[in-house]
Amino acid sequence: MRLTRVLALIAITPLLFSLTQKASADSYTLIRYPGRPVYMQFEGINDAGTIVGEIIDNSLEEGFIYQQGSFTLLLPPGSTGSIAYGINNSGVVVGEALYPYGASGFIWSGGKFALLSAPGYRDTVFEGINNSGEIVGWGSASSTKGLVYANGGFTTFQCPGYLDTALNGVNDSGQIVGFTSSGYPQSFVSSGTGCQFLPQNSLAPLALGINNAGEVVGYYQNNSNNPGGIQYSFLLSGSTYRTLSYSNQVSTIAIGLNNRGLIVGTTLDDSVGFIDDTNVPEPTSLVLMSSALVAGALRRISQPRRNQT
């Protein structure tokens, strides 16, 4: 499970910043796995609204695809478990396959699995994929290094001066979101070189997903004010954090978002997946936006062209 592995990499130390809670709850839908009580976590979502994630039932972890109300389990051949972390608009899914010796990254496309392990690493985990097929994740051995898989090969990524780096998501511009560890997690966005650390106006924000607008989702844990470890989801737009608030759900973790503004994650209170549509433009806004685009196009058409010389 991503959270178990993330917390194993870092020691979360509280920072002295204030939290701003939303006055009203976000608009969200809870999704439960049918038939039996299991722990379920939504990990990623594409622009068509297809979601990937994992369930845990009697210690067995299984990745899945959730589409139009139906679940399809993904278990690579010979594996003891799996987690599906990311999906792109072509329906290609990436994640990790679990084996007694460690973990391998998997790519699922057209009903077939491909398993990949980065040379020199015991565990290889694929966390995100963009629409160009670029994959990001991490590998672990004596330390943890970010991994980028593209054009049939692996490259490593590390924030300068930090021992451990993990990559969690990538958008179509190649912007990567991840975190590095030095006593507490420091989340960052990178365009391939260097690490631009996110504003630390909350308690140790852990960034987990990014869309094409550069919006970032994740969570922070308010250890100083909530010794029980209550976790709050956030959406970061530019330099502004918005705490995501869900009625009757105290602890939540936002993990993925798409280019339409849909956010997915899990609630720790009920151990179910959630879909947050608060950030999706209202139909009125879309109509006004479309009208503005049409008006602009008409203005351009009506303008006389300059003489070509």
Domain ranges, residue 289: 2-302
CB within 8 Å of 31: residues ≥ 6 apart? 40, 42, 66, 272, 273, 274, 275
CB within 8 Å of 241: residues ≥ 6 apart? 20, 199, 201, 202, 205, 234, 235
Find out whether 303 and 290 touch, Cβ atoms under 8 Å: no
Residue 82 covered by a domain: yes
Predicted confidence at residue 304, as pLDDT, reads 38
DSSP assignment string, 197-244:
EPP-SSSS-EEEEE-TT--EEEEEE-TTT-TTT-EEEEEEETTEEEEE
pTM > 0.85: no
Residue 139 covered by a domain: yes
Task: Judge whether residue 33 has pLDDT over 90.
Answer: yes
Higher per-residue confidence, 185 vs 54: 54
Task: Judge whether residue 4 has pLDDT over 60.
Answer: no
pLDDT in tens, 103-128: 999 999 999 999 999 999 999 999 99
Residue 297 covered by a domain: yes
Which of 84-93, 226-235, 258-267 is predicted least confidently? 226-235
Please report, rounded to a whole number, the percentage of residues in the chain having pLDDT higher than 90: 59
Residue 308 covered by a domain: no
Predicted confidence at residue 49, as pLDDT, reads 97
Residue 307 covered by a domain: no
Which pLDDT band, with edges at 50, 70 and 90, does 251 fall under?
confident
Predicted confidence at residue 284, as pLDDT, reads 47
Which of 39-48, 84-93, 193-202, 259-268 is predicted least confidently? 193-202
Q: Indicate the number of domains in the chain.
A: 1
CATH of the domain at 11: 2.120.10.30
pLDDT in tens, 167-197: 999 999 999 999 997 666 789 999 988 899 9
- State the Cα angle at 286 between 284 and 287, rounded to 5°: 65
Closest to 218 measured CA to CA, from 190, 186, 196, 183: 186
